[in-house]
Amino acid sequence: MEDRGIIGQLNPAFKLATHGFFMLLLTIISDPFTSFLLMLIPLIITFTMLRLPAKILFTTFVSFLFLFFLSTWSLAAFGRGETIWFQWAWFHFTKEGLMNGLTIGFRMLAFLYYGFIFIMTTNPTSFVLSLMQQFRLRPKWAYALLAGIRFLPLFHQELAQIRAAHRVRGVHRATSLRERLQTAFRFTIPLLAQGIRKAERVAIALEARGFDGSWNRTFYRTIPWGYKDVVYFVVLLLAHGILIGLSTALGMIRWGLV
Amino acid sequence: MKEKTLNIREVILTVIIAILCGVLYRLWTPIYDFADLLTGFSGQFVYGFWFIASIIAAYIIRKPGVAFLAEMAASSGELLTGSSYGLTTLLSGALQGLGAEAVLMAVRYRRWDLPVLMGMSVAATAGSFIVDYAFWGYAEKTVFVQTMSIILRTVGSLFVCGLLGKWIVDLVAKTGVLNSYAIITSKKKPEWDKS
């Protein structure tokens, strides 16, 4: 994705740190009501500030909702608790389990939206550059990551090529489970081998141009940071403060790890 | 070849392997989610697949730090291709990688046989449970589901991560693309030189 909208102008590394901070805050809240309120923050940002096409927003919303149900279910149906509603084999539906399940579900939703905002508003290249420039990721690793990101589309090509090669040699379509597993290997090994060859070529090309991965270098493209990043953090902090205050006033909040 | 630090060739190799694994992880997530969450623990046996990047990279390159960094890079790759677990994948990656790295540190980066690789898988499993207990409420599940999860994931990781990882790398090594890496050069006499 490109650096999109207002949030796209923020410094990617600081944006990641900010999101990480509020995600940690969510993990020490253990009641569904507060979790739900706090989940609304990234949700509202997603729907108002990203300016994505409605179709993408809709499909994202539905798929996230599905994951929300799955993770709520994982505690509602298998959770510990006193008030047992229904029990069968190892399924164990309880009131406490459902409450914890909802907390985890909303936490999951919030994490998903924070991740979604990050991915949709951040160009991977500027992200890696900013990790290097602000968070002191070693250039050796940063440039390796940049090369790796560029390889992602190439792997799709590679996959198509392997498939074509199989077809030319008359490898028939897998039907049984055994054959499917064999097919997985038939793809994995050449894909890895090609990846390793490509990695070697890139490394030699980099070294040939005098790249030594040290800090003894300058940057053609610098990723700035400034008051906008602070504002983003403060606005989120205020929103969280208000909602947590509201929940405390209503007596709903419960701190602690679930 | 007895240098301790990674050279550029090895760094790029680690990242490429990790990103390839990251893509596979990403494809793996929905299948696992569905299989596991519906019945509570049925997907746990194949959970170990998520640690395979550190096994593959460390087994090939055999230097300190590779296992950790490979898993970190794999989780960033997974994140950048849109993982459904969002930013927690980074934390999972870090803890799983640290687990795998700790085992290698314990054997002082001298042994690279199957028991060590399997030990790495088990340690990575332990790392993965830290995240599950801290973020995803595993402590609130019934004791039965918790026990089954721990047993299945640990036993599964021995096969899906340790054994499978070694098997894949050995097969790739046969193609000859790894001839200049520690996995081949550390042997007293290379495979292709035996006559």
Share of chain A above pLDDT 90, in %: 50
Q: Where residue A45 falls among pLDDT bands split at 50, 70, 90?
A: very high
Task: Kindly indicate whether the ipTM for this predicted assembly is greater than 0.90, answering yes or no.
Answer: no
pLDDT digits (tens, 9 = 90+) for A48-61: 988 889 999 999 99
Give the pLDDT confidence score for residue B6 in this predicted structure: 86
Q: Which residue matches tokens 């803890």? A: B95
Token reading at B11: 């760094």
Q: Are residues A26 and A113 in the same domain?
A: yes
Judging contacts by C-beta atoms under 8 Å, the chain A residues touching residue B81 are 152
Residue A12 has what pLDDT? 93
**Whether A159 and A229 share a structural domain:** no
Exposure letters A118-129 (e unless 16+ CB within 10 A, then b): bbbbbbbbbbbb
Which pLDDT belongs to residue A201?
93
Do residues A66 and A148 share a domain?
no
CA distance readout (Å), B184 to B120, B174, B190, B191: 21, 10, 6, 7
Alpha-carbon span A222 to A13, nearest angstrom? 13
Give domain status of residue A219, yes or no: no
Residues A144 and A118 in one domain: no
Torsion over CA: A190, B82, A29, A102 (sign): negative
**Contact check, Cβ <8 Å, B142/A202:** no
In a domain, A216, yes or no: no
At A84-131, the pLDDT tens digits run 888 777 788 888 888 899 999 999 999 999 999 998 898 989 999 999
Predicted confidence (pLDDT) per residue in A152-185, tens digit: 888 889 889 998 998 899 887 777 878 877 888 8
Euclidean distance between CA atoms A25 and A42, whole angstroms: 13
Q: Which residues in chain A touch residue B148, judged by CB atoms under 8 angstroms apart? A: 90
Helix H, strand E, coil C: the string for chain A is CCCCHHHHCCCHHHHHHHHHHHHHHHHCECCHHHHHHHHHHHHHHHHHHCCCCHHHHHHHHHHHHHHHHHHHHHHHCEECCCCEEEEECCEEEEHHHHHHHHHHHHHHHHHHHHHHHHHHHCCHHHHHHHHHHHCCCCHHHHHHHHHHHHHHHHHHHHHHHHHHHHHHCCCCCCCCHHHHHHHHHHHHHHHHHHHHHHHHHHHHHHHHCCCCCCCCCCCCCCCCCCHHHHHHHHHHHHHHHHHHHHHHHCCCCCECCC
> What own/partner pairs with CB < 8 Å and gap ≥ 24 does A62-70 have?
A63/B84, A64/A109, A64/A112, A64/A113, A64/A116, A67/A108, A67/A109, A67/A112, A67/B33, A67/B84, A68/A105, A68/A106, A68/A108, A68/A109, A69/A105, A70/B33, A70/B34, A70/B37, A70/B38
Q: What is the mean pLDDT of residues A218-242?
A: 94
Q: What is the DSSP letter of B170?
A: H
Distance CA A176, CA A180 (A): 6
Question: What's CA A223's distance to the chain center, in Å?
Answer: 22
- Residues paired with A84 in a beta bridge: A94
Instruction: Clarify whether residues A30 and A114 are in a common domain.
Output: yes
CA–CA distance, A92 with A76 (Å, rounded to integer) = 8
Chain A contact set for B168 (CB, 8 A): 185, 188-189, 192
Name which residue leads in pLDDT, A170 or A5. A170
| A88 and A183 both lie in a single domain | no
Q: Output b/e per residue, B113-145; b: 16+ Cβ within 10 A.
A: eeebbbbbbbbbbbbbbbbbbbbbbbebbbeeb
- Contact at 8 Å (CB) between A54 and A146? no
Q: B40–A27: do the CB atoms touch at under 8 Å?
A: no
Burial of A251 (0-12, 13-18, 19+ CB in 10 A): exposed
What pLDDT sits at residue B3?
A: 66
Assigned domain for A134 exists: no
Same domain, A86 and A147: no
Are B9 and A107 inside 8 Å of each other by CB?
Answer: no
Distance from CA of residue A52 to its chain's centroid? 18
Using the Cβ of B81 and the Cβ atoms of chain A, whether some distance falls under 8 Å is answered with yes
Instruction: Write down the CATH number for the domain with range B8-193.
Output: 1.10.1760
A30, A61, A72, A111: best to mutate for the B interface, most B CBs within 10 A: A111
Name the percent of chain B in helix, strand, coil, to the closest 5. Answer: 75, 0, 25
* Residues 6 or more apart whose Cβ sits within 8 Å of residue B49: B24, B25, B28, B160, B161, B164
- Examine the domain organization and report whether A240 and A204 are in the same domain: no
Residue contact A199–B13, C-beta within 8 A: yes
Q: Evaluate whether residue A214 is within a structural domain.
A: no
pLDDT bin (cut points 50, 70, 90) of residue A32 is very high
Q: Do A80 and B142 touch (CB under 8 A)?
A: yes
* Tally of domains within chain A: 2
Q: Name which of A78, A188, A258 is nearest B142 (Cβ-Cβ).
A: A78
A118 and A151 in a common domain: no
Domain-located, residue A192: yes
Flag whether pLDDT at A205 surpasses 80: yes
Q: Is B88 on the interface with A (CB under 8 A)?
A: yes
Q: How does residue A82 score in pLDDT terms, banded at 50, 70 and 90?
A: confident
Q: What's the average pLDDT block by block, 10 residues per block, for chain B (195 residues)?
A: 77 91 80 76 86 93 93 87 76 93 92 93 94 87 89 92 93 90 77 58
Contact A149 B80 (CB under 8 A): yes
**Residue of chain B with shortest Cα separation from A138:** B11
Range of the domain at A163: 139-208
pLDDT above 70: residue A43? yes
Looking at the fold, whether A23 and A62 belong to one and the same domain comes out as yes
